[in-house]
Amino acid sequence: MGQKTIRLNGKKRKVSVPDDSQQLLYVLREQLDQQGPKFGCGVAQCGACTVLVDGKIVRSCVTPLSSVADGADVSTLDGLATDDDDDLHPLQRAFLDKQAGQCAFCVNGMVMGALGWLQGRIDTGNRSVPEPREVADYLSGATPESTLNYICRCGSHPRIVEAICAAAGKMVK
Ligand code: FES
Ligand code: FES
């Protein structure tokens, strides 16, 4: 069993690498107490396990820890805000304001997938607020930049789309 260091939400953390097939999701949940990323399908089809690795959207259920570079920056929903309610990220605030979730199991993927997407647009100079249709297409994996889809089994997609549009408006300001 080896060891690896990652930067989890900005802090250096050592993790054990039990074997080459250990997926990042289990390391985050079982070794690092992260409660944001969830096990949904386990086969990269639902988005519930989404995290960012060096700013890139990653399905942690199918990402072996061995493929994550030593020292990589891993961002999870747990690190988006402190416990202080005033410190919520615009996406978290918008999801609460729009009540964009029923059971909330999908919310980790919706927020982290939207974060990676919106931040990627902003970083490349695109400061437009996406239209609801664009957001819905993004969540369906039907855009040129992404074929990953994000599934909400409770049918909260319309409110999730509204929340992402509202948060995008705040993020580009
Ligand atoms: S649990 Fe990873 S995509 Fe569904
Ligand atoms: S709110 Fe239940 S799966 Fe989306």
Instruction: List, in order, residues 6 or more apart from 173 with CB less than 8 Å away.
Output: none
Query: Is any atom of ligand 2 closer than 6 Å to the C-beta of 69?
Result: no
Instruction: Determine how β-strand 73-75 pairs with β-strand 50-53.
Output: antiparallel
- Which residue stretches of the chain are H helix? 24-26, 90-97, 107-123, 132-139, 157-171
Q: What does pLDDT average to over the chain?
A: 95
* 26 pocket-lining for ligand 2 (C-beta < 6 Å): no
In angstroms, the CA 120 to CA 57 distance is: 10
Angle ∠(75,167,155) on CA atoms, nearest 5? 90
The yes-or-no verdict on residue 20 having pLDDT over 70 is yes
Domains of the chain: 2-45+52-79 (3.10.20.30), 85-171 (1.10.150.120)
Local structure of residue 108 (DSSP, 8 states): H
Residue 147, judged by CB atoms within 10 A of its CB (0-12, 13-18, 19+), counts as: exposed
26 touches ligand 1 (CB under 6 Å): no
The confidence score (pLDDT) of residue 84 equals 66
Query: Residues 127, 172: contact at Cβ < 8 Å?
Result: yes
Q: Does any ligand 1 atom lie closer than 6 A to the CB of residue 44?
A: yes
- Between CA 41 and CA 150 the distance in angstroms is 11
pLDDT (0 to 100) of residue 113: 98
Mean pLDDT of 5-23: 93
Dmax (CA) of the chain: 48
pLDDT tens digits, 131-151: 999 999 999 999 988 999 999
149 lines ligand 1 (CB under 6 A): no
* Lowest model confidence (mean pLDDT) among 39-43, 111-115, 145-149, 154-158: 145-149
Question: Once rounded to an integer, what is the mean pLDDT over residues 21-25?
Answer: 95
Q: Are 50 and 58 in contact (CB under 8 A)?
A: yes
Span 40-64, average pLDDT: 98
3-state SS assignment for residue 150: coil
Q: Which one of 23, 46, 151 would you pick to mutate in the ligand 1 pocket, going by the greatest count of ligand atoms within 8 A of its CB?
A: 46
Indicate if the pLDDT at residue 23 is higher than 80: yes
At 70-115, the pLDDT tens digits run 999 999 999 998 766 678 999 999 999 999 999 999 999 999 999 9
Residue 46 in contact with ligand 1 by CB distance below 6 A:
yes
d(CA 135, CA 4): 36
Residue 157 three-state SS: helix
Residue 61 CA to ligand 1 centre (angstroms): 6
pLDDT at 48: 98
pLDDT at 114: 98
**How close is the Cα of 152 to the center of ligand 1, in Å?**
12
Residue 102 alpha carbon, nearest atom of ligand 2: 1
